[in-house]
Amino acid sequence: MNAPLNITLAQINPIVGDLAYNKGKILTYWQDAPEGTDLVLFPELAICGYPAEDLILKPFFMREIERVIGEILEASASLKSAAIIGTPWEIDSKTYNAALLIENGEILNVTAKHHLPNYGVFDERRIFARGPLPTPVSFRGTKLGIMICEDMWSSDVAAHLKSEGAEILIVPNASPYDCDKDDIRLNSAKDRACETGLPLFYVNQIGGQDELVFDGKSFVLDENATVIRQGAEFEEGLYSANEVIAGGEELAEIYGALKLGLHDYITKNGFPGVLIGLSGGVDSALTAVIAADALGPGKVHCVMMPSQYTSQDSLDDAAALAKNLDVHLGNIPITEAVEALAPTIESYVGPNAPAVTYENIQSRSRGLILMALSNAMGYMVLTTGNKSEMAVGYTTLYGDMCGGFNALKDVYKTQVYDLCSWRNAQSPVIPERIITKAPTAELKDNQTDQDTLPPYDALDDILACLIEADMGLDAIVARGHDRETVARVWKMLDRAEYKRRQAPPGVKITKRSFGRERRYPITNHFVNIVEKQGI
């Protein structure tokens, strides 16, 4: 290898499908790279954004990508550095997840992704053809070994590149955030550096894309697998000097993911702001705080919709929260709406309908009001249910589930409390009583969540065992849980699948969120077999 290359990592936030925007961002970062940079690295599929899903199956979309790449080639003729840019690319009528090495108006090399992930949120085998094992690319006297994202997670690609003479490993990524991903991702990179004895340059995108959030945290490892350079989390930036940025604590990272995921969903989809039904409870309070932090208080419109069961504490707490956040708080009582609807329903079903019939009229009245305000104002309604409630169906279809996005969809109730305490430690905005009082839906007198559900610390542990760990009944009971309670929670989890299919998208923060990562049948009798056989 000749003199060491000066490589700059461009950690950017693309928008899926906005080819002109992404082109402009790529060229801006490329042009802004420090003087003396040889090579600028951009994330996986930076041209189209990740994941572009079935957009890539549209021939017209691929033609547009070719046109935009042509414009980038023209612009690159005046730049002193080269770049590696991720893009879908057609070769012999097959579409690949590729990295283009571009210099001085020419494509010097095309590397296609070899390992296509087809698990969790990934579905690349449906979209892309599998590339061959990559071979090193000669660039300014150095042999580059390019491994696109998943190619780094197994040892064969790095080993092959090393055997073919690679001197540096280059890893363009679009690796989404979850609570457990950071160490796993870095350890995989360190394994490849240790196995090959080669330095490794890893660039990751940032930003929210539907339910996914990309955290950045790009890094460089030396040949001893020591981190010598690292990008910030949830922030765009160019990284060329040897600088290691300390990672945040887990709650700070989770909060950052929720904030960025909400911000990008609202702004990238062109909404002027958000509507939130405040209840005086902890979930809507945390949602409002995240929204105000993400979008600014001027874009957050809250509405209190009291019923006859709404306590004065709830009214006071919601007002105090809105004042602390400096967000608008409206008040639209639902008593008259409920009183108008209840007799109509009773006239049809009779006086002995289950109480939940009338309890849910309250929730659905609130949903109707919020959606009407959304029509009038153009703001998106945020739902506020947490993962614990979504898991067991403790939520009302067409009521508190009405809305377009949910920042807390993948956040367990115990994490909601932890995040509230963490956020208050930064600056106290959530009234303490919201955090300390017993959680309640306030749909009837003296109601609390624990009338229906196990205590949240027990419930959340059982749910994590069932959802993230796929554990069986005996294994969960061995953790100290009551067998009947575990069986009941399991049944509630499976029977609520029909509700979750109709829920809005929300930020993913765990390794297994509801949706594409957990695909369970709605019609499902396995839970009945488990209960009967005690397995």
Amino acid sitting at position 14:
P
The yes-or-no verdict on residue 534 having pLDDT over 80 is no
Nearest to 391 by CA among 481, 489, 483: 489
Is 286 found in the same domain as 243? no
Residue 179 and residue 261 in one domain:
no
Q: Are residues 371 and 439 in the same domain?
A: yes
Tell which of 421, 448, 475 closes a domain.
Answer: 448
Range of the domain at 157: 7-247
φ/ψ (deg, to 5) at 440: -155, 145
Average of pLDDT values for 461-479?
A: 93
Q: Report pLDDT digits (tens) over 210-238.
A: 999 999 999 999 999 999 989 999 999 99
Separation of alpha carbons 216 and 246, rounded Å? 13
What pTM, to 2 d.p., does this model score? Answer: 0.92
Q: Which among 203, 228, 247 is the end of a domain?
A: 247
> Which three-class secondary structure string do you get for 177-222?
CCCCHHHHHHHHHHHHHHHHCCCEEEEECEEEECCEEEEECCEEEC
CATH of the domain at 235: 3.60.110.10
Residues 184 and 235 in one domain: yes
Choose between 534 and 177: higher pLDDT: 177
- Cβ proximity of 244 and 227 under 8 Å: yes
Q: Are residues 224 and 263 in the same domain?
A: no
Q: How far is CA 173 from CA 49, 185, 217, in A?
A: 11, 11, 11
Same domain, 443 and 411: yes
Is residue 512 over pLDDT 90?
Answer: no
CB-based contact 79:39 (threshold 8 Å): no
Q: What is the mean pLDDT of the chain?
A: 91
- pLDDT tens string 330-389: 999 999 998 888 888 888 888 888 888 888 888 999 999 999 999 999 999 999 999 999
Amino acid at 450: Q
Q: Sorting pLDDT into bands at 50, 70 and 90, what band is 121? A: confident
- Asked whether the predicted pLDDT for residue 535 surpasses 60, the reply is no
Rounded Cα distance, 48 and 295, in Å: 25
pLDDT confidence band for 528 (50 / 70 / 90) = low
Query: Which residues are the active-site residues?
Result: 44, 113, 149
Residue 146 located in a structural domain: yes
For residues 464 and 459, what is the distance between their CA atoms, to the nearest angstrom?
Answer: 9
Q: Which of 405, 431, 448 is the last residue of a domain?
A: 448
Q: Please check the confidence at residue 1 and state whether its pLDDT lies above 70.
A: no
Per the structure, the count of domains in the chain is: 2
